Structure 1
Amino acid sequence: MDLTFSNLFFVKKGMFPEEKQQSHEEHHKKVSWVYYCIITLGLWLIANPPTFGYKVPAMVWNDILSGILLIVLSYFALKPYRLWAQWAIIFLGSWLFIAPMIFMAKEGAGLVTDYLIGTLVVVFGIVIPRQPGIKLFAQPGPNVPPGWSYNPSSWNQRVPVVFFAWIGFFVARYMGAYQMEYIDTVWDPFFGDGTKNVLTSKVSKSFPVSDAMLGAFSYIVDVLFGLAGGTHRWRTMPWVVIIFGILIFPLGVVSITLVILQPVSVGYWCTLCLTSAMVSLIMIPFTIDEVVATLQMMKNEKKQRNTSYWKSLWFGGTMEGGRTEEAKNPETLLDLTFREASKDFLNRPWNLFLIFALGAWIMLSPSVLGYSGTIANSSHIAGALIITFTVISMSEVGRPIRYILVLFGLWLIAAPWVLGTDNNMALWNGVICGLVLIPLCLPKGKIQDKRGSFDKYIK
């Protein structure tokens, strides 16, 4: 069958081979209980406005109408071939994350319950039953790509991302609660009123909604996308992997940009903002390899079967020559994950840890050494970007990115003369840091794993 994009949402019985249809129907029967759970969540949502005394009419109607839609859509989703209803439930669950920000909910209870119900709806809509119609579209194949020494979609790879995304969510939600006036104060252990000043600055207020709550939304989506799909998802659900990567990479860039703006535009540091930025950066190395595996699969589909990238993005594909890795025992998964994560951390190149510390010093040096102006702004920006590229380079897939740091080293040396400064501390700090940074960028470090055709790019 020649699949089109519309087949993701609209299919009929008889369109697929009998064995695929039987597998789809059996799978749907096993997971159909989730739609009864969503009906309950719809009733819960309808009861929210009178229970918590919503003051914003738009939020009242949002929860009532969303609850009714969840009930109606769940009824239709009980039929195995009504994929459109199953997808609509997922989109509606995602909407519940956004609605309190758009309608400026005045009640913290409304925001919390919408986030909770939205999370459960998405979990019941796509995390537990997997992508609607996945049994109709998925092709048989390995879960370890050919030429790879490990599975990039394994739970060992994804559990750390989910863990850090939850931390980021709680930190961002706390700051968002202050911005939306649910709480009167916000805690900062190191910079006094720095967090308050940053969250109420012109930069933060330039966003149409709470920028911190927008960050919380991004983190919760990271959690859900991290949980969605099985250990084959790099080839069966490419769209999830690609969107997951897009969400994490830009989020890290935005976070570090906001960190740069703190001393440059706002004039204050924010402990919680720095924490959120670091969480965003830590997640990046864990996601790069899965994106690479998916892109390899899509390229292989194009070369071997002349499948368009658009089609393989939504319907996946397969690769010959890989192997099937056995599923990890849930009882030992966390232990195995922490053990492997600790081992990976200790095996990271020593020079990258030194560069990370150097970047932190460069970013903070104007405050420590007491110089200001354009040269100080240069140090803030350069230090933050050095940390960003260093963390990305800690992934074996991202190791070549470390060469970009050579340019920052050259800039640190040249900046005092290009920008001009009469502060000797600023001048010598930049020159020495640049001279130390450049040679530290050269060692590649040990490469432990194999990634097929991508290995030639890791230099």
Structure 2
Amino acid sequence: MDRPTILITGSGGFLGRAIAEALRDRYRIIGLDVRKQEGAGGDLETIEVDLASRSSVNAALAQAADKAGGRFASVIHLAAYYDTTGEEDPRYDSVTVQGTRRLLHALKRLGTEQFIFASTLLVHAPSPDIGIRITEQSPIDPAWAYPRSKAETEALIGRERDGVRTVILRLAGVYDEDCRATFIAQQIARIFERLPTAYLFTGNLKAGQPYLHKDDLVDAVVRAVDRRADLDEHTVLLIGEEDTPSYEELQKRLGRLIHGEEWRTLSLPKGLTKAGAWVQAEILDQETDIKPWMIEGSDDHYEIDTSRARAVLGWEPRHALTRTLPEMIRRLKQDPTDWYEKNRLEPAAVAASEPELRQAERRLRRLPEEALRDAEATIARDRRQTSWASMVNAILGAWLMLSPLTIGLLDPVAASPPPALGHELDAPRVRNAWLGVSEMASGAMVILVALLGMGARRHWMQWMTAAVGLWVMLAPLVFWTTSAAAYATDTIVGMLIVTFAVIVPPPPGIHPRALASDDDRPLGWSYSPSSFSQRIPIVGMAFVGFFISRYLAAYQLGHIEGVWDPFFGGAEGTGRNGTEAVVTSWVSQGFPVADAGLGAVAYGLDILAGAIGDRRRWRTMPWMVFLFGLLIIPLGAVSVAFIIIQPPLIGALCTLCIVQAAVTVVLIPYSIDEVLASIQYLWRARRAGEPFWQTFWKGGPALSEDQVPQPDLDRSVWDIAREFFGGGMTFPWTLVASVALGALLTATPVVFGTKAPLYFSDHIVGCLVIAVAVVAMAEVARPLRFANAALGAWVAAAPFLLDGGAPEATAAGVVMGLALVGLSLPRGRRSDEHYGGWDRAIV
């Protein structure tokens, strides 16, 4: 005998699948959903449908009727539009209301015994007071868009059912042991993460709403289907738990279950909460799960009387939310990321939570020996395949030993004192001779150490070779060589020695445990901050700074007679342009070596540190990431400080120094995410039982599980460029405008005729504003933008406190200052990237 057919709309959803599973033993199930999918055991036949399209509804029902032999025992209508914004959306009408009308009209032409509509108890007005229960006859007064659409649909069904037996189920919020109830899940997440909002509420803490376990809902639907012939032509039933825990009671229960403590909740006035939510959404441009309609309805209390469901269906709930909470929280603690995914929350927020780290600790204790052996074998294979690098370094050492003879370092030489010299020096021939001796000794050391370390696992020898290479880069500056050839040769050879000593794989000193896994993304991160597509452009920009510094250093050492500056001039009568005046000023002369040369060495180290390691180096070489950050971030601060002091202390401006500072500041936001990832990893690895200093110096194992490494350079150049410009960076118009205002502040003498001391103030603040805004373009550093609000306040006040401003400059200062304050408040657009637990700091 053929089984009766049940048609379920929204069959692919959480409830649709559960209802289909309960009915499929006695009924044939056909599903309608926006996407075709297979049910459990393949028994659920799914037909794609768009309820907003009449033709789609008609075609889907014709197909379903053909499968069912033209008759349905029951149609269970679950599909509807829903969101939590509380705002009106055209889809509430096109999908929920008119979609139901289209469905009903199409069903009238077919044999349909019953039509069950899943509504919500929120179509009712709240209970008049705590202790007063709502019945099916209580007033209909939905408070926001979603229940309003359900109420309109109920009315439509009552008008247009035309003899079809209908059942309206006004459901409470549905949950199961994994939660899946949106507002309960958000409440649990706030307490689990100890967010500030977890301690706050607006409205009546004694108010609450009933809930409904998924299995009890399924039971009610099954009973309604089975008793379809016995029900009235139009039946309305409230389905939910009569026990209504208050918000305060839930807070206390959750606090005890999650953290083992009494959870205190402060009730705020609605006006204050609305103002805070408005500032957060409209001024700070931040997302919030607290919507205006929620604040308005925070006093609403719902208690329901389900006696009619007991009388008509013989139904009553077998579960209770308060009894299910312990299991719900147990599952959360067992696997927070999985729980968050099931509840459509962001799992990155809890990827490094205590339960996840305990899981990581258990995994690390049983790290497979095979993986360690494979890692050791890979290191040995790479060492064999790259043993040629030691031979190359030996050749470079020989080059260094012969270099003094080939470039004439030991020959007599006459030279004027270097332009940037600020202290006494030995004669040029003596300085060059010392450099020659240094090159010979360094070359001999490189040959010795490189050859001795070829067949041995002596990592210190590789680092000793790299240290010699660093000294080779510094030596021409220390000895103030007069030889441009020596300076160029030593810079290049020194960088090559470091490259062949420690950058050519495998980098020395990494523990095999760190290489035993390919996992390349930190816990809770959506990308690897150490990928080559992230680092290569940084290295490219470092080369720009390196070339500029080398050019300026050549002038400071006296290797060239002048430097180029297209915009700025020096003091009258000196014959020097702005750049020449700055790099030979008392500031530069105060350094024991050419300061531009030191900058070139720092940029060279940026290049080398940016190239070493693979896309896992945030955990395999944390110390190198820290060094990389220390080279970039302080170097950026020094470059900005050097620009700041030029007008007030030196009396000139340097075009190339400004370009150099701009490059250095841009490097900071592109590198800061990798530093953050290493800091997070060291902290989390320590909590997972890994020794801190060993992890810092030798790296550590992956804390994540079964990641699939992302593609890196094996993509198109456009994809690589997109990741570089978008990976961890966004460019809100507010920050771009702040950069423009900072540039305008540095130009107030030209634009508004300001003079010192107001001009000096504008120049200093303008440089700081630009630096802050550029660094804040990195999402992990976005809160730094608030510093520009304080700087903007000073800009607005400065014309009244300092001399040097005409009336138009005063007005401009006030406008620019207030604009900076306003531009510094919105966070701006967030990308889809995640940064572990740091997401919540991006305010």
TM-score of the two chains, using structure 1 as the length reference? 0.92
Deviation at 1:342, TM superposition (A): 5.0
**SS at structure 2 position matched to 1:34:** helix
1:386-432: CA deviation from partner (whole Å, max 9, x where unpaired): 00000000111111110111100111122223335563243222211
Alignment match of 1:63 (pick from 439, 459, 463): 439
Contact 1:153 1:232 in 2 (8 A): yes
DSSP 3-state at the match of 1:166: helix
Q: Which residue identity lines up with residue 608 of structure 2 in the other structure?
A: L
Look up the match of 1:147: 524
- The answer (yes or no) to whether the contact 2:550–2:596 under 8 Å persists in 1 is yes
Name the CA shift for 1:346/1:150 in 2 (closer, same or farther; >3 Å): closer
CA distance in 2 between counterparts of 1:178 and 1:312 reads: 44
Sort the Cα spacing of 1:457 and 1:106 in 2 relative to 1 into closer, same or farther, 3 A: same
Work out the CA distance in 1 between the residues paired with 2:566 and 2:789. Answer: 35
Q: Is the 8 A contact 2:473 2:601 kept in 1?
A: yes
Structure 1 residues 79 and 327: CA distance shift in structure 2, 3 A: farther
What is the CA distance between 1:434 and its match in structure 2? 0.6
Tell me how far apart the structure 2 counterparts of residues 209 and 88 of structure 1 sit (CA, whole Å): 24
Cα pair 1:222 1:247 within 8 Å, conserved = yes
* Equivalence map 1:274-353=2 (5 Å): 274-305=658-689, 307-308=691-692, 310-321=693-704, 323-330=707-714, 332=715, 334-342=717-725, 347-353=730-736
Which residue does 1:98 correspond to in 2?
474
User: Deviation per CA, 1:303-327, whole angstroms, max 9, x where unpaired?
Assistant: 110522x332112223433623244
| Structure 2 partner of 1:11 | none
- Contact residue 521 and residue 528 of structure 2 kept, 8 A: yes
Number of the residue aligned with 1:3: none
- Aligned residue type for 1:47: L
Aligned position for 1:116:
492
CA contact (8 A) 1:188 1:272 kept: yes
Q: 2:398 corresponds to which residue?
A: 43
Alignment of 1:408 with 2:784, yes or no, is no
From 626, 631, 634, the counterpart of 1:250: 634
- Residue type matched to 2:474 in 1? I
Match of 2:826 among 421, 428, 443: 443
Q: Distance in 2 between matches of 1:183 and 1:31?
A: 40
Change (3 A) 1:367 1:266: farther
Deviation digits for residues 138-162 of structure 1 (CA, Å, limit 9, x no counterpart): 3534101121111111111101110
Alignment of 1:6-17 (within 5 A): none
* 2-structure distance, mates of 1:429, 1:205: 38
Per the alignment, residue 510 of structure 2 pairs with 134
Provide the C-alpha distance between the structure 2 equivalents of 1:202 and 1:184, rounded to a whole number of angstroms: 19
Residue 394 of structure 1 pairs with residue 749 of structure 2: no
Per-residue CA deviations over 1:170-222 (Å, capped at 9, x if unaligned) read 01110110111100011112224111111111111111111111111111100
- The answer to whether 1:379 aligns with 2:798 is no
Q: RMSD value over aligned CA atoms?
A: 1.9
Partners of 1:137 and 1:341 lie apart in 2 by 29
1:297 and 1:318 in contact (8 A); partners too = no
| Structure richer in strand, relative to its length | 2
3-state DSSP of counterpart to 1:184: coil
Aligned to 2:535: 158
1:245-271: CA deviation from partner (whole Å, max 9, x where unpaired): 111000110000000111111111111
**TM-score normalised by length of structure 2:** 0.51
Residue matched to 2:652:
268
Mapped to 2, the partners of 1:194 and 1:345 lie a distance apart of 37
1:287 shift after superposition:
0.5
Deviates more, 1:278-287 or 1:360-369: 360-369
Structure-to-structure mapping, 1:219-234, within 5 angstroms: 219-234=603-618
Question: Which deviates further from its counterpart, 225-234 or 128-137?
Answer: 128-137
Residue 347 of structure 1 and its aligned partner are, at CA, apart by: 4.8
Structure 1 range deviating more: 226-235 or 52-61: 52-61
* Bigger Cα Rg: 2
CA contact (8 A) 1:366 1:379 kept: no
Partners of 1:258 and 1:443 in 2: CA distance: 30
Identity %: 37
When residues 278 and 130 of structure 1 are mapped into structure 2, their CA distance, relative to the original with a 3 A threshold, is: farther
Match of 2:449 among 52, 57, 73: 73
Unaligned 5+ residue runs, structure 1? 1-16
For 1:58 and 1:168, locate their aligned partners in 2 and report how far apart those are by CA, in whole Å: 29
Q: Which amino acid aligns with 1:150?
A: Y
Higher relative contact order (CA 8 A, sep 6+): 1
**Normalized per residue, which structure has more helix?**
1
SS in 1 for 2:780: coil
Distance 1:344 1:87 in 2: 32
